A and B are shown apart, each in its own frame.
Chain A
Protein backbone atom coordinates (compact mmCIF):
# COMPACT_ATOMS: atom_id res chain seq x y z
CA UNK A 1 0.00 0.00 0.00
CA UNK A 2 1.23 3.44 -0.81
CA UNK A 3 0.76 5.59 2.24
CA UNK A 4 2.81 8.16 0.44
CA UNK A 5 3.65 10.48 3.28
CA UNK A 6 5.14 8.50 6.12
CA UNK A 7 8.13 10.74 6.81
CA UNK A 8 9.42 10.89 10.34
CA UNK A 9 11.55 14.06 10.45
CA UNK A 10 10.42 17.55 11.34
CA UNK A 11 11.87 19.17 8.20
CA UNK A 12 10.28 16.68 5.88
CA UNK A 13 7.07 16.92 7.81
CA UNK A 14 6.71 20.64 7.11
CA UNK A 15 7.68 20.23 3.46
CA UNK A 16 5.11 17.50 2.99
CA UNK A 17 2.52 19.40 4.99
CA UNK A 18 3.01 22.48 2.82
CA UNK A 19 2.75 20.41 -0.33
CA UNK A 20 -0.38 18.74 0.98
CA UNK A 21 -2.11 21.81 2.25
CA UNK A 22 -0.94 24.78 0.24
CA UNK A 23 -0.27 23.16 -3.10
CA UNK A 24 -3.84 22.03 -3.42
CA UNK A 25 -5.82 24.68 -5.23
CA UNK A 26 -9.09 22.78 -5.49
CA UNK A 27 -12.26 24.10 -3.91
CA UNK A 28 -14.11 22.38 -1.10
CA UNK A 29 -16.87 21.43 -3.53
CA UNK A 30 -14.32 19.72 -5.78
CA UNK A 31 -12.79 17.92 -2.79
CA UNK A 32 -16.20 16.65 -1.75
CA UNK A 33 -16.85 15.38 -5.29
CA UNK A 34 -13.42 13.74 -5.35
CA UNK A 35 -14.11 12.13 -1.98
CA UNK A 36 -17.36 10.68 -3.33
CA UNK A 37 -15.34 9.19 -6.19
CA UNK A 38 -12.90 7.61 -3.69
CA UNK A 39 -15.79 6.23 -1.74
CA UNK A 40 -17.48 4.56 -4.68
CA UNK A 41 -14.19 3.19 -6.06
CA UNK A 42 -13.01 1.82 -2.72
CA UNK A 43 -12.57 -1.91 -2.24
CA UNK A 44 -15.43 -3.04 -0.06
CA UNK A 45 -14.44 -5.17 2.93
CA UNK A 46 -16.48 -6.87 5.60
CA UNK A 47 -14.22 -6.36 8.62
CA UNK A 48 -11.22 -4.43 9.92
CA UNK A 49 -9.16 -7.62 9.60
CA UNK A 50 -9.37 -7.44 5.79
CA UNK A 51 -7.79 -3.99 5.60
CA UNK A 52 -3.97 -4.02 5.24
CA UNK A 53 -2.65 -2.30 8.37
CA UNK A 54 0.00 0.43 8.09
CA UNK A 55 2.57 -0.06 10.86
CA UNK A 56 3.29 2.83 13.26
CA UNK A 57 6.40 3.27 15.35
CA UNK A 58 6.92 5.08 18.64
CA UNK A 59 10.09 7.02 19.31
CA UNK A 60 10.33 7.43 23.08
CA UNK A 61 12.39 10.61 22.66
CA UNK A 62 10.13 12.53 20.26
CA UNK A 63 6.80 12.53 18.48
CA UNK A 64 6.39 10.35 15.40
CA UNK A 65 4.26 11.80 12.62
CA UNK A 66 2.45 10.22 9.69
CA UNK A 67 0.60 12.32 7.12
CA UNK A 68 -2.03 10.74 4.97
CA UNK A 69 -4.05 12.01 2.03
CA UNK A 70 -6.78 9.64 0.85
CA UNK A 71 -6.52 11.09 -2.66
CA UNK A 72 -2.87 9.99 -2.90
CA UNK A 73 -3.50 6.36 -1.99
CA UNK A 74 -3.34 3.65 -4.66
CA UNK A 75 -6.07 1.66 -2.91
CA UNK A 76 -8.72 2.63 -0.45
CA UNK A 77 -10.95 0.28 1.51
CA UNK A 78 -14.48 0.81 2.69
CA UNK A 79 -17.26 -0.77 4.72
CA UNK A 80 -20.69 -1.12 3.21
CA UNK A 81 -23.17 0.96 5.16
CA UNK A 82 -26.97 0.97 5.00
CA UNK A 83 -28.35 2.89 2.03
CA UNK A 84 -25.54 1.83 -0.31
CA UNK A 85 -23.07 4.21 1.31
CA UNK A 86 -19.48 3.15 1.58
CA UNK A 87 -17.42 4.38 4.54
CA UNK A 88 -13.71 4.65 3.82
CA UNK A 89 -11.56 2.92 6.44
CA UNK A 90 -7.84 3.03 7.09
CA UNK A 91 -6.19 0.75 9.66
CA UNK A 92 -2.89 1.35 11.46
CA UNK A 93 -0.94 -1.19 13.49
CA UNK A 94 0.08 0.29 16.85
CA UNK A 95 3.59 -0.30 18.21
CA UNK A 96 4.03 -2.91 20.93
CA UNK A 97 3.19 -1.11 24.17
CA UNK A 98 6.17 -0.25 26.36
CA UNK A 99 5.30 3.18 27.76
CA UNK A 100 2.24 5.46 27.90
CA UNK A 101 1.76 7.62 24.82
CA UNK A 102 -0.93 9.59 23.07
CA UNK A 103 -2.37 9.32 19.60
CA UNK A 104 -3.13 12.75 18.19
CA UNK A 105 -5.32 12.84 15.09
CA UNK A 106 -5.65 16.09 13.13
CA UNK A 107 -7.86 16.43 10.06
CA UNK A 108 -7.01 19.44 7.86
CA UNK A 109 -9.40 21.78 6.09
CA UNK A 110 -9.36 21.34 2.32
CA UNK A 111 -10.40 23.71 -0.43
CA UNK A 112 -9.42 27.06 1.07
CA UNK A 113 -11.18 29.53 3.35
CA UNK A 114 -13.99 30.54 1.02
CA UNK A 115 -15.24 27.01 0.36
CA UNK A 116 -13.88 24.82 3.16
CA UNK A 117 -14.44 21.07 3.31
CA UNK A 118 -13.32 18.69 6.03
CA UNK A 119 -13.05 14.96 6.64
CA UNK A 120 -14.72 14.45 10.04
CA UNK A 121 -12.89 11.38 11.34
CA UNK A 122 -13.81 8.75 13.90
CA UNK A 123 -11.00 6.98 15.69
CA UNK A 124 -11.66 3.37 16.72
CA UNK A 125 -9.28 1.32 18.86
CA UNK A 126 -9.09 -2.42 18.28
CA UNK A 127 -7.45 -5.27 20.18
CA UNK A 128 -5.37 -8.05 18.64
CA UNK A 129 -8.56 -9.90 17.68
CA UNK A 130 -9.86 -6.75 15.89
CA UNK A 131 -12.54 -6.23 18.51
CA UNK A 132 -13.44 -2.63 19.27
CA UNK A 133 -12.26 -1.36 22.63
CA UNK A 134 -12.76 2.43 22.40
CA UNK A 135 -13.92 5.00 19.90
CA UNK A 136 -13.95 8.78 19.64
CA UNK A 137 -17.00 11.00 19.40
CA UNK A 138 -17.09 14.12 17.27
CA UNK A 139 -17.31 16.20 20.43
CA UNK A 140 -13.81 14.94 21.35
CA UNK A 141 -12.41 17.02 18.46
CA UNK A 142 -11.59 20.73 18.73
CA UNK A 143 -11.04 23.30 16.00
CA UNK A 144 -7.44 24.53 15.83
CA UNK A 145 -5.47 27.07 13.84
CA UNK A 146 -3.30 24.39 12.23
CA UNK A 147 -1.89 24.10 8.72
CA UNK A 148 -2.82 26.61 6.06
CA UNK A 149 -6.56 26.70 6.73
CA UNK A 150 -7.16 25.13 10.14
CA UNK A 151 -8.47 21.74 11.14
CA UNK A 152 -9.86 19.64 13.96
CA UNK A 153 -7.91 17.41 16.32
CA UNK A 154 -8.15 15.07 19.28
CA UNK A 155 -5.69 13.35 21.62
CA UNK A 156 -6.27 9.88 23.04
CA UNK A 157 -3.87 8.26 25.49
CA UNK A 158 -2.76 4.65 25.42
CA UNK A 159 -1.90 3.83 29.01
CA UNK A 160 -1.01 0.57 30.72
CA UNK A 161 -4.70 -0.29 30.99
CA UNK A 162 -4.98 -0.01 27.18
CA UNK A 163 -1.85 -2.00 26.35
CA UNK A 164 -3.97 -4.70 24.71
CA UNK A 165 -4.96 -2.29 21.95
CA UNK A 166 -3.15 -3.32 18.78
CA UNK A 167 -4.78 -1.33 15.96
CA UNK A 168 -6.53 1.94 15.30
CA UNK A 169 -9.00 2.43 12.50
CA UNK A 170 -9.90 5.79 11.01
CA UNK A 171 -13.28 6.10 9.38
CA UNK A 172 -15.57 8.99 8.67
CA UNK A 173 -17.88 10.05 11.46
CA UNK A 174 -21.38 8.72 10.73
CA UNK A 175 -23.04 11.10 8.30
CA UNK A 176 -26.08 11.81 10.42
CA UNK A 177 -23.92 12.47 13.49
CA UNK A 178 -21.72 15.14 11.91
CA UNK A 179 -22.16 18.64 13.22
CA UNK A 180 -20.20 20.85 10.85
CA UNK A 181 -17.67 23.12 12.61
CA UNK A 182 -17.10 26.74 11.63
CA UNK A 183 -13.88 27.74 9.92
CA UNK A 184 -12.82 31.08 11.45
CA UNK A 185 -9.37 31.61 9.98
CA UNK A 186 -8.71 34.64 7.82
CA UNK A 187 -6.26 34.93 4.97
CA UNK A 188 -3.23 37.18 4.74
CA UNK A 189 -1.02 37.85 1.78
CA UNK A 190 0.61 40.68 -0.12
CA UNK A 191 0.20 42.52 -3.41
CA UNK A 192 2.95 44.19 -5.44
CA UNK A 193 2.93 47.96 -5.82
CA UNK A 194 5.17 49.39 -8.55
CA UNK A 195 6.27 53.04 -8.48
CA UNK A 196 8.18 54.41 -11.47
CA UNK A 197 10.94 56.94 -10.82
CA UNK A 198 13.74 58.40 -12.96
CA UNK A 199 14.79 55.33 -14.88
CA UNK A 200 13.96 53.02 -12.00
CA UNK A 201 11.01 50.95 -11.06
CA UNK A 202 10.55 50.40 -7.35
CA UNK A 203 8.47 47.45 -6.24
CA UNK A 204 6.83 47.25 -2.85
CA UNK A 205 4.95 44.30 -1.45
CA UNK A 206 1.92 45.68 0.36
CA UNK A 207 0.38 43.38 2.99
CA UNK A 208 -3.25 42.46 2.48
CA UNK A 209 -5.73 40.78 4.77
CA UNK A 210 -8.81 38.83 3.76
CA UNK A 211 -12.28 39.46 5.07
CA UNK A 212 -13.55 35.89 5.12
CA UNK A 213 -16.61 35.34 7.28
CA UNK A 214 -16.89 32.19 9.40
CA UNK A 215 -18.11 29.33 7.20
CA UNK A 216 -19.33 25.82 7.89
CA UNK A 217 -16.73 23.25 6.90
CA UNK A 218 -18.74 20.83 4.80
CA UNK A 219 -18.23 17.12 5.35
CA UNK A 220 -16.14 15.18 2.84
CA UNK A 221 -16.00 11.36 2.80
CA UNK A 222 -12.21 11.39 2.57
CA UNK A 223 -9.50 13.89 3.39
CA UNK A 224 -6.06 14.82 4.62
CA UNK A 225 -5.02 14.00 8.13
CA UNK A 226 -2.03 13.70 10.40
CA UNK A 227 -1.46 11.03 13.00
CA UNK A 228 1.07 11.74 15.72
CA UNK A 229 2.31 9.33 18.37
CA UNK A 230 3.61 11.31 21.35
CA UNK A 231 5.39 9.62 24.28
CA UNK A 232 3.94 10.63 27.65
CA UNK A 233 6.76 11.71 29.91
CA UNK A 234 5.84 14.85 31.90
CA UNK A 235 8.83 17.02 32.59
CA UNK A 236 9.37 20.43 34.14
CA UNK A 237 8.34 23.26 31.82
CA UNK A 238 11.31 24.88 30.14
CA UNK A 239 9.55 27.65 28.19
CA UNK A 240 7.18 30.30 29.36
CA UNK A 241 3.48 29.81 28.52
Chain B
Protein backbone atom coordinates (compact mmCIF):
# COMPACT_ATOMS: atom_id res chain seq x y z
CA UNK B 1 0.00 0.00 0.00
CA UNK B 2 2.96 2.24 0.65
CA UNK B 3 3.88 2.18 -3.02
CA UNK B 4 0.36 3.05 -4.03
CA UNK B 5 0.29 5.96 -1.66
CA UNK B 6 3.49 7.36 -3.03
CA UNK B 7 2.33 6.95 -6.63
CA UNK B 8 -0.95 8.69 -5.92
CA UNK B 9 0.78 11.41 -3.95
CA UNK B 10 3.21 11.93 -6.79
CA UNK B 11 0.41 12.29 -9.30
CA UNK B 12 -1.36 14.75 -7.02
CA UNK B 13 1.78 16.81 -6.72
CA UNK B 14 2.39 16.86 -10.42
CA UNK B 15 -1.17 17.08 -11.72
CA UNK B 16 -3.59 18.52 -9.22
CA UNK B 17 -1.04 20.67 -7.48
CA UNK B 18 -0.52 22.79 -10.55
CA UNK B 19 -3.07 25.45 -9.66
CA UNK B 20 -0.39 28.02 -8.96
CA UNK B 21 2.39 27.08 -11.36
CA UNK B 22 5.05 29.74 -11.67
CA UNK B 23 6.81 29.28 -14.98
CA UNK B 24 10.01 31.22 -15.40
CA UNK B 25 12.45 31.03 -18.27
CA UNK B 26 16.09 31.72 -17.38
CA UNK B 27 17.26 35.16 -18.44
CA UNK B 28 20.93 34.54 -19.19
CA UNK B 29 21.89 38.13 -19.92
CA UNK B 30 20.42 39.31 -16.61
CA UNK B 31 22.21 36.61 -14.61
CA UNK B 32 25.75 36.52 -15.96
CA UNK B 33 27.10 36.89 -12.43
CA UNK B 34 25.91 33.39 -11.52
CA UNK B 35 28.96 31.13 -11.50
CA UNK B 36 28.39 28.79 -8.58
CA UNK B 37 25.18 26.80 -8.15
CA UNK B 38 24.18 24.71 -5.14
CA UNK B 39 21.91 21.82 -6.01
CA UNK B 40 19.41 21.23 -3.21
CA UNK B 41 18.90 17.52 -3.55
CA UNK B 42 15.40 16.05 -3.85
CA UNK B 43 13.66 13.82 -1.35
CA UNK B 44 15.19 10.40 -2.05
CA UNK B 45 13.06 8.21 -4.30
CA UNK B 46 11.99 4.97 -2.65
CA UNK B 47 11.12 2.55 -5.43
CA UNK B 48 9.05 1.99 -8.55
CA UNK B 49 5.34 2.26 -9.21
CA UNK B 50 2.72 1.40 -11.79
CA UNK B 51 -0.32 3.51 -12.71
CA UNK B 52 -3.15 2.79 -15.13
CA UNK B 53 -5.09 5.89 -16.15
CA UNK B 54 -8.64 6.05 -17.52
CA UNK B 55 -9.55 2.86 -15.69
CA UNK B 56 -13.26 1.93 -16.02
CA UNK B 57 -13.44 1.01 -12.32
CA UNK B 58 -13.03 4.69 -11.45
CA UNK B 59 -16.50 5.46 -12.77
CA UNK B 60 -18.18 3.08 -10.32
CA UNK B 61 -18.06 5.08 -7.11
CA UNK B 62 -16.36 4.05 -3.91
CA UNK B 63 -16.47 0.33 -4.70
CA UNK B 64 -14.83 0.95 -8.08
CA UNK B 65 -12.21 3.19 -6.50
CA UNK B 66 -11.40 0.49 -3.92
CA UNK B 67 -11.02 -2.11 -6.67
CA UNK B 68 -8.79 0.29 -8.60
CA UNK B 69 -6.63 1.10 -5.56
CA UNK B 70 -6.18 -2.59 -4.78
CA UNK B 71 -5.21 -3.40 -8.36
CA UNK B 72 -2.70 -0.53 -8.54
CA UNK B 73 -1.17 -1.45 -5.19
CA UNK B 74 -0.75 -5.07 -6.26
CA UNK B 75 0.76 -4.06 -9.59
CA UNK B 76 3.10 -1.47 -8.03
CA UNK B 77 4.27 -3.78 -5.26
CA UNK B 78 5.01 -6.69 -7.60
CA UNK B 79 6.89 -4.37 -9.97
CA UNK B 80 8.84 -2.79 -7.12
CA UNK B 81 9.73 -6.25 -5.81
CA UNK B 82 11.43 -7.26 -9.07
CA UNK B 83 13.13 -3.85 -9.50
CA UNK B 84 14.48 -3.35 -5.94
CA UNK B 85 17.27 -5.98 -6.27
CA UNK B 86 18.77 -3.87 -9.07
CA UNK B 87 19.64 -1.27 -6.43
CA UNK B 88 19.02 1.80 -8.54
CA UNK B 89 17.94 5.17 -7.19
CA UNK B 90 16.45 7.79 -9.50
CA UNK B 91 17.18 10.69 -7.15
CA UNK B 92 20.88 9.78 -6.77
CA UNK B 93 21.51 9.32 -10.48
CA UNK B 94 19.50 12.39 -11.44
CA UNK B 95 21.51 14.71 -9.20
CA UNK B 96 24.81 13.20 -10.31
CA UNK B 97 23.87 13.78 -13.96
CA UNK B 98 22.56 17.31 -13.39
CA UNK B 99 25.75 18.23 -11.53
CA UNK B 100 27.87 16.82 -14.36
CA UNK B 101 25.95 18.71 -17.05
CA UNK B 102 26.03 22.00 -15.14
CA UNK B 103 29.79 21.65 -14.71
CA UNK B 104 30.10 21.04 -18.45
CA UNK B 105 28.07 24.23 -18.94
CA UNK B 106 30.72 26.14 -17.00
CA UNK B 107 29.27 26.33 -13.49
CA UNK B 108 30.94 25.42 -10.22
CA UNK B 109 28.50 23.02 -8.58
CA UNK B 110 27.90 22.25 -4.91
CA UNK B 111 25.39 19.78 -3.49
CA UNK B 112 23.27 19.96 -0.39
CA UNK B 113 21.19 17.18 1.16
CA UNK B 114 18.25 18.46 3.17
CA UNK B 115 15.44 16.84 5.11
CA UNK B 116 12.20 17.28 3.21
CA UNK B 117 8.84 16.39 4.64
CA UNK B 118 7.30 16.79 1.19
CA UNK B 119 8.91 16.65 -2.26
CA UNK B 120 8.85 20.44 -2.55
CA UNK B 121 10.24 23.23 -0.38
CA UNK B 122 7.79 26.00 0.36
CA UNK B 123 10.06 28.31 2.27
CA UNK B 124 13.85 28.36 2.17
CA UNK B 125 14.16 30.16 5.51
CA UNK B 126 14.57 26.92 7.44
CA UNK B 127 17.38 25.66 5.21
CA UNK B 128 19.09 29.05 5.18
CA UNK B 129 18.86 29.37 8.95
CA UNK B 130 20.53 26.02 9.61
CA UNK B 131 24.21 26.77 10.28
CA UNK B 132 25.42 23.40 9.04
CA UNK B 133 24.17 24.31 5.55
CA UNK B 134 26.08 27.60 5.42
CA UNK B 135 29.10 26.36 3.50
CA UNK B 136 27.07 24.47 0.88
CA UNK B 137 24.72 27.41 0.41
CA UNK B 138 27.55 29.88 -0.13
CA UNK B 139 26.92 30.17 -3.87
CA UNK B 140 25.26 32.53 -6.36
CA UNK B 141 22.06 30.51 -6.85
CA UNK B 142 20.35 27.38 -5.57
CA UNK B 143 18.86 24.78 -7.88
CA UNK B 144 16.00 23.10 -6.02
CA UNK B 145 15.19 19.77 -7.70
CA UNK B 146 12.03 17.80 -6.92
CA UNK B 147 11.17 14.40 -8.33
CA UNK B 148 9.02 11.39 -7.47
CA UNK B 149 9.32 7.64 -7.75
CA UNK B 150 9.75 6.46 -11.34
CA UNK B 151 6.62 4.92 -12.82
CA UNK B 152 5.38 2.88 -15.70
CA UNK B 153 2.08 4.38 -16.84
CA UNK B 154 -0.60 2.93 -19.10
CA UNK B 155 -3.16 5.30 -20.61
CA UNK B 156 -5.90 2.66 -20.21
CA UNK B 157 -6.10 -1.01 -19.11
CA UNK B 158 -5.41 -2.05 -22.72
CA UNK B 159 -2.67 0.50 -23.47
CA UNK B 160 1.09 -0.09 -23.34
CA UNK B 161 3.01 0.65 -20.16
CA UNK B 162 5.33 3.62 -20.83
CA UNK B 163 8.23 4.81 -18.61
CA UNK B 164 7.63 7.99 -16.64
CA UNK B 165 9.84 10.39 -14.73
CA UNK B 166 8.63 13.77 -13.48
CA UNK B 167 11.02 16.52 -12.43
CA UNK B 168 10.47 20.09 -11.30
CA UNK B 169 13.51 22.36 -11.11
CA UNK B 170 13.60 25.79 -9.57
CA UNK B 171 16.63 28.11 -9.56
CA UNK B 172 16.49 30.81 -6.91
CA UNK B 173 18.86 33.61 -6.10
CA UNK B 174 20.96 32.89 -3.01
CA UNK B 175 20.60 36.47 -1.80
CA UNK B 176 16.83 36.88 -1.70
CA UNK B 177 15.48 33.56 -3.09
CA UNK B 178 13.82 35.33 -6.01
CA UNK B 179 12.78 32.89 -8.73
CA UNK B 180 15.20 32.89 -11.66
CA UNK B 181 14.02 29.73 -13.41
CA UNK B 182 11.26 27.16 -13.04
CA UNK B 183 10.60 24.23 -15.35
CA UNK B 184 8.63 20.99 -15.24
CA UNK B 185 9.86 18.05 -17.27
CA UNK B 186 8.16 14.76 -18.04
CA UNK B 187 10.16 11.93 -19.53
CA UNK B 188 8.15 9.23 -21.28
CA UNK B 189 4.45 9.37 -20.53
CA UNK B 190 2.89 12.76 -21.17
CA UNK B 191 0.33 13.45 -18.44
CA UNK B 192 -2.52 15.75 -19.34
CA UNK B 193 -1.58 18.73 -17.18
CA UNK B 194 -2.32 21.80 -19.30
CA UNK B 195 -1.47 24.39 -16.65
CA UNK B 196 1.90 22.78 -16.07
CA UNK B 197 2.86 23.15 -19.76
CA UNK B 198 5.62 20.64 -19.06
CA UNK B 199 8.47 19.89 -21.42
CA UNK B 200 7.95 16.31 -22.61
CA UNK B 201 10.89 14.15 -23.65
CA UNK B 202 9.77 10.99 -25.46
CA UNK B 203 10.96 7.58 -24.30
CA UNK B 204 12.28 5.06 -26.77
CA UNK B 205 9.51 2.92 -28.29
CA UNK B 206 11.55 -0.18 -27.46
CA UNK B 207 10.49 0.34 -23.84
CA UNK B 208 6.72 0.15 -24.25
CA UNK B 209 5.38 -2.98 -22.54
CA UNK B 210 1.99 -4.32 -23.66
CA UNK B 211 1.12 -5.98 -20.33
CA UNK B 212 2.09 -5.89 -16.67
CA UNK B 213 3.52 -9.39 -17.06
CA UNK B 214 5.83 -8.12 -19.84
CA UNK B 215 6.91 -5.28 -17.56
CA UNK B 216 7.98 -7.75 -14.88
CA UNK B 217 9.59 -10.26 -17.24
CA UNK B 218 12.89 -8.43 -17.78
CA UNK B 219 13.64 -6.00 -14.91
CA UNK B 220 16.95 -4.89 -16.47
CA UNK B 221 15.12 -3.82 -19.61
CA UNK B 222 12.37 -2.10 -17.61
CA UNK B 223 15.05 -0.22 -15.68
CA UNK B 224 16.85 0.78 -18.86
CA UNK B 225 13.61 2.28 -20.19
CA UNK B 226 13.36 4.65 -17.21
CA UNK B 227 17.07 5.22 -16.79
CA UNK B 228 17.49 6.53 -20.34
CA UNK B 229 15.49 9.57 -19.33
CA UNK B 230 17.93 10.75 -16.67
CA UNK B 231 20.74 12.11 -18.88
CA UNK B 232 18.17 13.65 -21.23
CA UNK B 233 16.49 15.54 -18.39
CA UNK B 234 19.87 16.66 -17.05
CA UNK B 235 20.94 17.90 -20.49
CA UNK B 236 17.65 19.77 -20.90
CA UNK B 237 18.12 21.58 -17.57
CA UNK B 238 21.75 22.42 -18.29
CA UNK B 239 20.82 23.72 -21.69
CA UNK B 240 18.12 25.96 -20.22
CA UNK B 241 20.63 27.31 -17.72
CA UNK B 242 23.54 27.49 -20.17
CA UNK B 243 25.44 30.73 -20.00
CA UNK B 244 25.91 31.18 -23.72
CA UNK B 245 22.84 30.30 -25.79
CA UNK B 246 19.52 31.81 -26.82
CA UNK B 247 18.41 33.58 -29.98
CA UNK B 248 21.51 34.01 -32.10
CA UNK B 249 22.71 37.48 -33.12
CA UNK B 250 22.90 37.85 -36.88
CA UNK B 251 24.93 40.17 -39.06
CA UNK B 252 22.80 39.99 -42.19
CA UNK B 253 19.85 42.25 -42.95
CA UNK B 254 16.83 42.14 -45.25
Taking Cβ atoms with an 8 Å cutoff, the residues of A that contact B are 47-48, 100, 102, 104, 123, 125, 129-137, 140, 142-147, 150, 153, 155-157, 159, 161, 182, 184-188, 190, 204-211, 213-214, 230, 232, 234-241
Contacts and interface: CB of A to CB of B under 8 A. Distances in A.
Given A207-B55, A237-B179, A240-B121, A185 B247 contact: no
B204 to A, nearest CB: 10
B106 interface: no
27 contacts: A131-B253, A132-B252, A140-B245, A142-B236, A143-B199, A145-B186, A145-B191, A145-B193, A145-B196, A150-B200, A161-B29, A184-B200, A186-B155, A187-B155, A188-B54, A206-B56, A207-B53, A211-B155, A211-B159, A235-B178, A236-B172, A237-B182, A239-B19, A241-B120, A241-B146, A241-B169, A241-B170
B248 A135 contact: yes
Interface of B: 17, 19-22, 24-25, 27-30, 53-56, 58-60, 118-122, 144, 146, 154-156, 158-160, 168-170, 172-173, 176-180, 182, 186, 189-194, 196-202, 205, 208, 236, 245-250, 252-254
A130 B254 contact: yes
Contacts of A207: 53-56, 58-59, 156
B248 A137 contact: yes
Contacts of A143: 199-202
Contact of B25 (A102, A188, A190): A102
A177 B177 CA distance: 40
Contacts of A130: 253-254
Contacts of A232: 27, 30
Given A134-B250, A241-B146, 19 more contacts: A104-B25, A134-B247, A137-B248, A143-B199, A143-B202, A144-B197, A144-B200, A184-B202, A185-B200, A188-B53, A188-B54, A204-B60, A207-B53, A210-B155, A214-B205, A234-B173, A234-B179, A234-B180, A240-B17
